[in-house]
Amino acid sequence: MHSLTKLLSIITTNYPNAPQAQLNEVERAYAFAELAHQNQKRASGTEYIQHPLGTAEILAESKLPLPIIMAGLLHDVPEETKFTLNDIKKEFGADIADMVEGITKVGHVKYRGINRYVENLRKMFVAMADDVRVIIIKFADRLDNLQTLFVLPANKQKRIALETLEIYAPIANRLGMGDLQGRLEDAAFKYAYAEQYQWVDQLFKQRAPKKEQTLDRMLELAQKALKKENIKIKNIFGRKKRYYSLYRKLLKYDKNINQIYDIIAARIIVDDISACYAVVGIIHALWKPVKGRIKDYIAQPKPNGYQSLHTTVFGENGEIIEFQIRTMEMDEQAELGIASHWKYKETVPTSDKKIVWIEDLVKWMKSQQDKNFLEKIKIDIFQNRIFVFTPNGDVIDLPDGATPIDFAYHIHTGLGDKCGQVLINNEIAPLDFKLRNGDIVKIILDKNRKGPSAKWLSFVKTSTARHHILNYTKKTGWKRFLPLSK
């Protein structure tokens, strides 16, 4: 059961120096929500106040500023009670009222036929573009609701679960909020794909015990070696891979569990970047690294800000084990994403509430009218992402399956229109080559080319590339020569 005592305990743990006046404001928001929701019950039969409390607890666990936690407590008041946004504004100020209003606007993103669903998604992203805090509160709201999904009919369970996996969790990933993403995915997985969940559960239970036992021994040896070299360890522990993440990886490797080395992984947290690299050297002195499995996300962070060193080694008892090495700041960035920047801020600056890719997405969405809109947006935003590099080392974020043409149009329209050849990792590759994580891509211009080729429509992945190619067809009149699109 959720309670105000539990919420305050989470807050004081994460914010030991929080002034009593701020804690009093949280208590006042709770009292207001409790009064507003009195005599209301949820479908599960529990008191309604349990839901906003649960939402607020999730936000507090994510170390978000107290005004966001307060908005979580109040998020259902205007929609579900006699109290209004004006009442909230009078009691708690414009900022909290604006967040609650944003949550109210995105509260109806439900599948009710494709046209209404598309329009509701547009509304959700417009609200996000205005203030990204709104979608973060929505994540917490959704995660708490997933805990009581069992009381709903099976068809509703599946709809809500699929919506979570296809819309909400990928947005959390794009915002770098690994912890919330994983929690959303695992809570929805068993309802969206029940048989697959059982299969992954059995596989994990078969493999995990031996790996856990091995890892415990390896962590003990690593700790001794690091201490000997005077490396200060802030934390060292084993981490279990989340079920839905494991499921996606199994699909990638043709369901071969033997190809997946991070079912159980080691994580080592140290003081600074130089210590991270020193730890890798010590780990490799203890155990032989697996060729091609050393990844430096510190020098080249993922587009969502993730930084860490990963190395996979041939460990004890014939087990192959992955080590993740990072600083405390990197660990918080990986788990909390954008929220990690707000951890010690009482108010979030306006500039921090806006995310460029969301604003760009809203502009694009406003120009889209066709019935394939939802599939396009799933590919561009909600599908698995890869990151590749320009020759200068800039990170480019693309959907899985993207090609050099998609890459070129992502950089600049002119680069796409006049793309002649491509070098992938310094080797000539076809223009329909499917890019992979970490590829270095160099586009070679064809100065004699007047515009894109109609053939490109048969393999480009992103809506940006397709949009520019189709625009060219309208200008040049060669639409009749277009191949059938996918």
In the numeric block, which tokens belong to residue 123?
A: 């509304």
CB 449 within 8 A of CB 420: yes
pLDDT value for 89? 95
Tell me: do 152 and 234 sit in the same domain: no
Cα(377)–Cα(399) distance, integer angstroms: 11
Nearest to 320 by CA among 367, 346, 296, 288: 288
Q: Is 423 in a helix, a strand, or coil?
A: strand
Average the pLDDT over each of 51-55, 183-187, 382-386, 476-480 and give the range with the smallest value. Answer: 476-480
Ranked by mean pLDDT, the top range of 83-92, 296-305, 381-390, 461-470 is: 83-92
Q: How many CB atoms lie within 10 A of CB 260?
A: 17
Q: Is residue 51 part of a domain?
A: yes
Give how many domains the chain has, as a whole number: 3
Cα(405)–Cα(407) distance, integer angstroms: 5
Q: pLDDT tens, 245-292?
A: 999 888 888 888 888 888 889 999 999 999 999 999 999 999 999 988
Non-local CB neighbours of 1 within 8 Å, separated by 6+ positions: 50
pLDDT value for 365? 62
pLDDT value for 166? 80
End position of a domain, from candidates 273, 307, 337 = 337
Tell me: do 319 and 425 sit in the same domain: no
Nearest to 177 by CA among 168, 186, 165, 164: 168
Tell me: do 228 and 166 sit in the same domain: no
Q: Is 8 in a helix, a strand, or coil?
A: helix
pLDDT value for 480? 44
pLDDT value for 463? 80
Predicted confidence band of residue 107 (pLDDT cuts 50, 70, 90): low
**Residue-number span of the structural domain to which 248 is assigned:** 195-337
Average confidence (pLDDT) over 31-49:
92
Ranked by mean pLDDT, the top range of 97-106, 115-124, 149-158, 321-330 is: 321-330
- Dihedral sign from CA coordinates of 114, 141, 186, 304: positive
CATH number of 305's domain: 3.30.460.10
Tell me: do 154 and 223 sit in the same domain: no
Tell me: do 302 and 252 sit in the same domain: yes
Tell me: do 90 and 153 sit in the same domain: yes
CATH number of 73's domain: 1.10.3210.10
pLDDT value for 356? 64
pLDDT value for 126? 74
Q: Is residue 354 part of a domain?
A: no
pLDDT value for 116? 54
Q: Is residue 345 part of a domain?
A: no
Q: Is residue 227 part of a domain?
A: yes
Q: Is residue 173 part of a domain?
A: yes
Average the pLDDT over each of 108-117, 279-288, 363-372 and give the range with the smallest value. Answer: 108-117
End position of a domain, from candidates 191, 217, 232 = 191
In the numeric block, which tokens belong to residue 327?
A: 């600083």
In the numeric block, which tokens belong to residue 269?
A: 């947290």
pLDDT value for 162? 87
Tell me: do 97 and 180 sit in the same domain: yes
Tell me: do 104 and 215 sit in the same domain: no
First-to-last C-alpha distance (Å) of the chain: 49
Average the pLDDT over each of 45-54, 109-118, 156-165, 304-313 and give the range with the smallest value. Answer: 109-118
Tell me: do 64 and 76 sit in the same domain: yes
Q: Which amino acid, residue 241?
A: K
Average confidence (pLDDT) over 9-21:
89
End position of a domain, from candidates 191, 206, 238 = 191
Predicted confidence band of residue 302 (pLDDT cuts 50, 70, 90): confident
Q: Which amino acid, residue 440?
A: I
- Reported pTM: 0.76
User: Which comes out higher in pLDDT, residue 15 or 437?
Assistant: 15
Given a cut of 50, is residue 484 above it in pLDDT?
Answer: no
Ranked by mean pLDDT, the top range of 60-69, 173-182, 297-306, 435-444 is: 60-69
**Helix pair 243-252, 178-192: axis angle to 10 deg:** 80
Tell me: do 47 and 97 sit in the same domain: yes
The percentage of the chain sitting over the pLDDT mark of 90, rounded to a whole number, equals 49
Tell me: do 291 and 261 sit in the same domain: yes
Tell me: do 144 and 33 sit in the same domain: yes
Mean pLDDT of the chain: 85
